[in-house]
């Protein structure tokens, strides 16, 4: 990745933004889970769905089945009733069951802690793998969803048209001390403050640092 995808925001301003967000935001997932496996399933289910809907479904599912073997034993038809309120639940049920089977057959029922094995699981793409690596295993990855992509470009940290390029820019431009939690800082800021429509600029903690406002 060359600097052509970098935005014009200075390194000083980027550091200042992260420092401010670090003082305002608790870097914690909105998904509810107790184990790496529960997180993995929740993130797979969250594609094109809200965390609220996923949490509601998992609240019913996990007391019944919260291990690869237990969910695999439910089968596709047995899993569907628990997740039918989530978008694309038919495809997701197939992926989760296939994912559980692969975990049992290739990983002794354990969630792998490396990208290659995670991305080889059914229904797991780069973003999902990054979330699991970061949240479950404490690795300094930056999962880029629509919120992170929007915020990075709106702040002009990046000047990119796709999430893969945004991820590469953020990994290069984020100060090392903030890499571990950068995903949550940008995600939660985008979800609750720097929203796609009608961003809450009047209440934004980094308003003075945002080049979109041209205030500094």
Catalytic machinery residues = 127, 145
Helix 126-135 vs helix 182-192: crossing angle, to nearest 10: 110
Neighbours of 159 (CB within 10 A): 17
How far apart CA 203 and CA 216 sit, in angstroms, is 17
Residues 38, 59: contact at Cβ < 8 Å?
no
Copy the structure tokens of residue 82.
Answer: 């628990």
How far apart CA 20 and CA 87 sit, in angstroms, is 35
How far apart CA 42 and CA 57 sit, in angstroms, is 9
How far apart CA 192 and CA 145 sit, in angstroms, is 14
How big, in percent rounded to 5, are the helix, strand and coil portions of the chain?
A: 60, 0, 40
- Collapsed DSSP state (helix, strand, coil) of residue 120: coil
Provide the CB-side half-sphere exposure for 18 (13 A, CA).
Answer: 21
């Amino acid at each position: 990745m060359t600097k052509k995808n970098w935005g014009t925001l200075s390194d000083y301003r980027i550091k200042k933004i992260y420092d401010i967000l670090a003082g305002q935001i608790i870097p914690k997932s909105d998904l509810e889970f107790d184990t790496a496996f529960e997180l993995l399933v929740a993130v797979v289910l969250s594609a094109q769905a809200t965390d609220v809907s996923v949490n509601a479904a998992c609240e019913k599912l996990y007391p019944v089945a919260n291990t690869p073997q237990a969910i695999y034993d439910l089968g596709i038809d047995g899993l569907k009733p628990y997740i039918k309120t989530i978008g694309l639940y038919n495809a997701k049920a197939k992926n989760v069951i296939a994912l559980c089977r692969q975990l049992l057959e290739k990983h002794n029922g354990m969630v792998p802690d490396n990208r290659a094995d995670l991305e080889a699981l059914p229904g797991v793409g780069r973003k999902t793998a990054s979330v699991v690596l970061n949240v479950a295993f404490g690795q300094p990855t930056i999962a880029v969803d629509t919120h992170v992509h929007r915020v990075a470009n709106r702040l002009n940290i990046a000047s990119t048209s796709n999430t893969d390029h945004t991820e590469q820019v953020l990994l290069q431009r984020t100060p090392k001390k903030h890499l571990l939690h950068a995903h949550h800082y940008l995600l939660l800021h985008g979800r609750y403050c720097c929203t796609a429509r009608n961003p809450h600029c009047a209440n934004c903690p980094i308003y003075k640092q945002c080049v979109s406002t041209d205030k500094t």
